[in-house]
Amino acid sequence: MKLGLCIEMVFAGLRFEDRIAAAAKAGLKHVEMWFVDGSYQGAAERLAAVSKEHGVEITNTVIGSPDGAIGGGLTDPANRQAWLDRVRKTLQFNQAAGIPATIVCTGNTVPGRSDGQMEASVLAGLEATLRLAEQSQVTLLLEPLNTHYDHPGYWLTSSDRGAEICRKLRSPRLRLLFDCYHMQVMEGNLLNHIERNLDVIGHLHSAGVPGRHELFRGETNYPYLVEAVERMGYDGVFALEYMPSMADDLSVRETLAHLGLT
């Protein structure tokens, strides 16, 4: 299984280029970032060169914020043009930087609109987004999140529902991002959810529950989970997206040791 690290949360005190170097020094070959105009403010081509220099692949970006404050989201059709403008900007950066995927967040629920209306808006927005993603050869990763602690009001909170949306649209460029932290909070029963939706899962995230700290701080048995998911045949990225509770270098070392990957 490929191991990834979100360098928006770990090594966040360093310059962005130095975060890539720090991840490489820790033995990681895959990292991920969030917005293309966020922590990193340089040219996409420069980022590609830095990644190549350190032998690290940046696996994905993020199009817009979960609540839709950045990008407008998908749940409200009134924001469609703002969303598609944001999509084009993100895909252009991904292409230039050689980043193969980007995360799609649905946005929050919209007052006055029914769940069915919001689902129809999400599907229509994803169809339009997919046309652009397919042209750019960038994969979309649709992410359910938790509303209890981190993203109150977020619309897509179920991995099963996210998987069904992926199946409805039937594009190899749309995959489910299964975040073990968020789904442990919302659903539990992680392995059964992963197994029945493995056909559309394209990426995994992880963090300790509760608290979103290191994987060894919490109720989830991640060493067992990683081994079980590998047995299922998953060969994508298992990414660490957590907030360190100790010095970053030590945090990464202890997390990798906990997973038995050192």
Task: Please list the active-site residues.
Answer: 143, 241
Can you tell me the distance from the alpha carbon of 182 to that of 227, in angstroms, rounded to the nearest whole number? 20
Q: What would the two tokens of residue 66 be?
A: 């979960």
Q: Which of 176, 179, 115, 195 is nearest to 145 (CA)?
A: 179
Can you tell me the distance from the alpha carbon of 113 to that of 76, in angstroms, rounded to the nearest whole number? 9
Q: What would the two tokens of residue 31 be?
A: 């990292």
Q: Is 153 helix (H, G, I), strand (E, B) or coil?
A: coil
Chain centroid to Cα 57, Å, comes to 15
Q: Is the dihedral of CA 120, 122, 125, 126 positive or negative?
A: negative
What secondary structure does DSSP assign to 1-35, as a single string? -EEEEETTTSSTTS-HHHHHHHHHHTT--EEE-S-
| Residue 226 · residue 238 · CB < 8 Å | yes
